[in-house]
């Protein structure tokens, strides 16, 4: 019975426990998701953003700062190297994330890794390479490290209250919240971080150029930044394909991208291409894998073999060419198809006073100058307090000079040690601090010579204090100190530029791909921006075009598969594309949506699509305000690989119609008032500027707009003399019913 009752009791206990669990589970499920996010997820998200992934104005993330400060406290700025494992162990007092994460941080900061323009860790041993995916770094017990000389500018005056110190994670010691960098390290050191809901991607710039730009900015915040800071600089070298307008936009907003390509040379004796610098974002392995894939697929036929010949002399990829192969054309093809040319996306997201903010280069410099000014002022306050304290002590010592024997007598005749200081205070009229200082003087120093030597410093101290006070009161003098420090850094740490600059406008066109067949095609474009490229054979089989509901035909033209088209949009932009990039379609298909294919901006729509041909014709841009611009279509023929042209036409009035003009013809212009006029395009002289506003063609009343312009042959106008004009601009004539070209529908 007892055993049975025990089992029954256990069952009831288990049932009650299960009910409790179910009740708890039900309670959790009933919690609002907003409350769960607020109490559980938001603290984690904020911790990642503020304390882990996003760099601050000193250019460091917390993991970098903790490591470098630990090395500084270990005496590794001036001392000899020590084992990396020792540094990692010491850093764990500040960074609780484990030895593997700490060592990976050290590897990236090390000179041997070549990930930074100005490495902060002077390394010895194998620290891997930033340009290699498979070259692993050695374990921390094998490598050695110390701080690089540049760290003297990172930690200068850190012990003079220049920055705030905070408790470490367990409250047992203090660590700096920021490091008082004497140069804008936030721009010099490349940084990448992925937080929760945001990220940061900062490219590195050249130290000398950044310091010179900071000096110019301090003197004139409206200075041209690109005059001294032309482009980013990467430790892996390469060449930036420079688009000046795009780079200025990155400098202004902190967002955008630019292309970086490899550097190479050709040895005609061995018929070998040697690649010796690659983009910062690429790796040797990814390049070789992609080239091997292209060779295997038959897309690149000029290569016999490709080898990685990287050694102690640096990176080198060797490509053996087949006989008769053109190295220039091959490299142009590889730049297009492989990571030998890659894009770097910028997102200058930085923590300012604990708040993430995306800023342009000028704004970053402004924040750094303000922060550095505060550091210098705090240093001056510290020095001023020390000098005032010393002056106060010396003034007390000077009073002793008046009667040294009296001071000795007071000390000798005082029975209790605790009464020495009060008796000196009473005897000489000095305060407790001064009396303590006098009482601590050794017996051998209580002589006139010693006291005179010490008190002679009083005059110099008073001058120094006055100078420091004047400096604190002058913004210009404080900024002058920052400028002098920057000049000293430029001189002390010369840093030649590693990444070259080639301007996109100076690059030759992409070589014609021999694998692309050339044949006649007919192109149909719909009002909503769908493009169909149809071959003559397919068009003969079915010529009835299919469109989306509510859509319809907008334009039609003939061309060749290798021809280029120009897509004009309502945002004053023109996109270039090759017809070979579009698949052949049938009349029964909807075609390709141009906005998606060309990567148009949000809200941007197609205004017109033109066939560029050999770029020998003119183009008419017709605007709502009645003006028409005649521009040679060759102004859109660039020597670069750019697919997008900004500021492609005037933004003074919305674009109504775009026409290709191969010969002068008569055109008809129509307004919303119901007027029309016929003019000869010979009256319009070509302009070479894309942004030209054009010349007035139709005079419009305030409420009305230009609605359409068409070649006369495409209109139904019969009374030509009524609408024809011989000079421009003109108001035109009201359109008669028979000239509208509209046929009335009849029932059969």
Q: How far apart are CA 618 and CA 635, in angstroms?
A: 10
Architecture label for domain 263-339: 2-Layer Sandwich (3.30)
Q: What is the pLDDT of residue 388?
A: 93
State which CATH number among 3.90.199.10, 3.30.70.270, 3.40.50.620, 3.40.640.10 fits the domain covering 60-180.
Answer: 3.90.199.10
Tell me how far the alpha carbon of residue 164 is from its chain's centroid. 29
Q: What percent of the chain has pLDDT over 90?
A: 58
Looking at the predicted structure, is the pLDDT value of residue 665 above 50?
A: yes
| Bond prior to 729 in cis (omega within 30° of 0) | yes
pLDDT digits (tens, 9 = 90+) for 66-82: 999 999 999 999 989 99
479 exposed, middle or buried (CB, 10 Å; 0-12, 13-18, 19+)? middle
The residue-averaged pLDDT of 282-295 equals 93
Looking at the predicted structure, is the pLDDT value of residue 549 above 50?
A: yes
Q: What is the pLDDT of residue 511?
A: 52
Cβ proximity of 229 and 242 under 8 Å: no
Residue at token pair 């104005």: 57
State which CATH number among 3.30.565.10, 3.10.180.10, 2.120.10.90, 2.40.30.110 fits the domain covering 618-748.
Answer: 2.120.10.90
Taking alpha carbons only, the member of 722, 713, 714 closest to residue 676 is 722
CATH dotted code for 373-492: 1.10.268.10
pTM equals 0.66
Least confident of 210-219, 338-347, 440-449, 460-469: 440-449
Cβ proximity of 128 and 139 under 8 Å: no
| Helices 361-401, 448-455: crossing angle, 10 deg rounding | 150
Q: What is the pLDDT of residue 415?
A: 85
Q: What is the pLDDT of residue 13?
A: 53
The residues spanned by each domain of the chain are: 2-43, 60-180, 263-339, 373-492, 516-613, 618-748
- Helical (H) or strand (E) element with 503: strand 500-503
Q: What is the pLDDT of residue 671?
A: 94
Within 691-735, residue ranges assigned H as helices are: 720-723
Residues taking part in catalysis: 142
Q: What is the pLDDT of residue 515?
A: 55
632: left (phi over 0), alpha (psi -120 to 50) or beta: beta
**What is the average pLDDT score of the chain?**
88
pLDDT digits (tens, 9 = 90+) for 591-613: 999 988 888 888 899 999 999 88
pLDDT digits (tens, 9 = 90+) for 147-156: 999 999 999 9
pLDDT digits (tens, 9 = 90+) for 308-367: 999 888 899 999 998 888 899 899 999 999 999 999 999 999 999 889 999 999 999 999
Cβ proximity of 659 and 566 under 8 Å: no
Question: Which residues pair with residue 317 across a beta bridge?
Answer: 275, 308
Of residues 53 and 168, more confidently modeled: 168
* SS3 category, 286: helix
């Amino acid at each position: 019975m007892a055993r049975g009752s025990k089992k029954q009791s256990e069952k009831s206990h288990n049932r009650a426990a299960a009910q409790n669990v179910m009740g708890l589970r039900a309670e959790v499920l009933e919690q609002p998701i907003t409350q769960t996010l607020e109490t559980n997820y938001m603290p984690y998200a904020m911790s990642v953003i503020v304390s882990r992934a996003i760099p601050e104005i000193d250019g460091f993330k917390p993991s970098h700062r903790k490591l470098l400060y630990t090395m500084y406290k270990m005496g590794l700025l001036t001392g000899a190297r020590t084992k990396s494992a020792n540094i990692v162990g010491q850093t764990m007092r500040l960074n609780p994330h484990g030895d593997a994460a700490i060592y990976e941080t050290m590897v990236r900061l090390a000179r041997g890794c070549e990930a930074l323009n100005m490495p902060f860790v002077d390394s010895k041993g194998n620290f891997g390479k930033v340009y290699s995916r498979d070259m692993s770094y050695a374990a921390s017990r094998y490598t050695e490290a110390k701080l690089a000389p540049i760290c003297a500018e990172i930690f200068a005056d850190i012990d003079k209250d220049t920055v705030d110190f905070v408790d470490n994670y367990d409250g047992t010691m203090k660590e700096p919240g920021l490091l008082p960098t004497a140069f804008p390290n936030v721009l010099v050191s490349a940084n990448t971080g992925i937080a929760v809901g945001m990220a940061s991607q900062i490219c590195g710039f050249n130290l000398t150029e950044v310091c010179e730009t900071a000096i110019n900015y301090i003197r004139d915040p409206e200075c041209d930044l690109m005059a001294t800071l032309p482009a980013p600089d990467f430790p892996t070298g390469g060449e930036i394909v420079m688009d000046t307008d795009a780079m200025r936009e990155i400098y202004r907003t902190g967002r955008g991208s630019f292309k970086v390509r490899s550097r190479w040379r050709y040895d005609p004796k061995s018929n070998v291409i040697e690649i010796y610098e690659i983009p910062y974002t690429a790796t040797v392995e990814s390049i070789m894998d992609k080239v091997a894939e292209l060779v295997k697929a038959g897309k690149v036929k000029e290569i016999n073999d490709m080898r990685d010949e990287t050694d102690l002399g640096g990176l080198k990829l060797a490509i053996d060419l087949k006989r008769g192969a053109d190295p220039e054309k091959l490299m142009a093809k590889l730049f297009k198809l492989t990571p030998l040319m890659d894009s770097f996306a910028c997102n200058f997201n930085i923590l300012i006073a604990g708040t993430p903010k995306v800023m342009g280069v000028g704004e970053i410099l402004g924040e750094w100058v303000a922060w550095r000014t505060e550091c210098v002022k705090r240093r001056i306050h510290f020095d001023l307090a020390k000098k005032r304290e010393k002056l106060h002590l010396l003034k007390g010592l000077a009073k002793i000079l008046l009667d040294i024997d009296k001071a000795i007598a007071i000390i000798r005749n005082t029975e209790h040690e605790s009464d020495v200081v009060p008796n000196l205070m009473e005897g000489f009229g000095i305060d407790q601090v001064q009396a303590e200082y006098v009482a601590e003087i050794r017996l051998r120093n209580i002589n006139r010579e010693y006291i005179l030597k010490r008190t002679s410093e009083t005059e110099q101290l008073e001058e120094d204090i006055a100078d420091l006070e004047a400096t604190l009161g002058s913004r210009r003098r404080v900024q002058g100190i920052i400028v002098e420090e920057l000049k000293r850094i430029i001189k002390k740490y010369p840093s030649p530029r590693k990444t070259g600059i080639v301007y996109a406008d100076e690059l030759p066109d992409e070589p014609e791909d021999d694998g692309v067949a050339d044949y006649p095609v007919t192109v149909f474009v719909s009002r909503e921006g769908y493009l169909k490229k149809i071959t003559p054979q397919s068009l003969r089989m079915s010529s009835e075009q299919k469109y989306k509901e509510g859509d319809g035909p907008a334009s039609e033209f003939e061309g060749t598969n290798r021809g280029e088209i120009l897509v004009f949009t309502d945002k004053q932009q023109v996109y270039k594309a090759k017809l070979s990039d579009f698949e052949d379609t049938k009349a029964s298909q909807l075609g390709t949506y141009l906005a998606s294919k060309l990567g148009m901006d949000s809200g941007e729509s197609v205004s017109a699509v033109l066939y560029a041909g050999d770029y020998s014709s003119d183009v008419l841009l017709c605007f709502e305000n009645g003006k028409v611009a005649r521009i040679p279509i060759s102004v859109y023929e660039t020597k670069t690989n750019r697919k997008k042209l900004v500021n492609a036409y005037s933004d003074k009035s919305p674009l109504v119609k775009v026409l290709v003009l191969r010969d002068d013809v008569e055109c008809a212009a129509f307004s919303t008032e119901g007027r029309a006029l016929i003019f000869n395009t010979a009256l319009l002289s070509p302009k070479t500027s894309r942004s030209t506003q054009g010349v007035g063609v139709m005079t419009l009343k305030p409420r009305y707009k230009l609605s359409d312009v068409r070649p006369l042959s495409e209109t139904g106008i019969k009374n030509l003399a009524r609408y024809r004009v011989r000079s421009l601009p003109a108001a035109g004539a009201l359109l008669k019913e028979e000239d509208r070209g509209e046929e009335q529908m009849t029932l059969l």
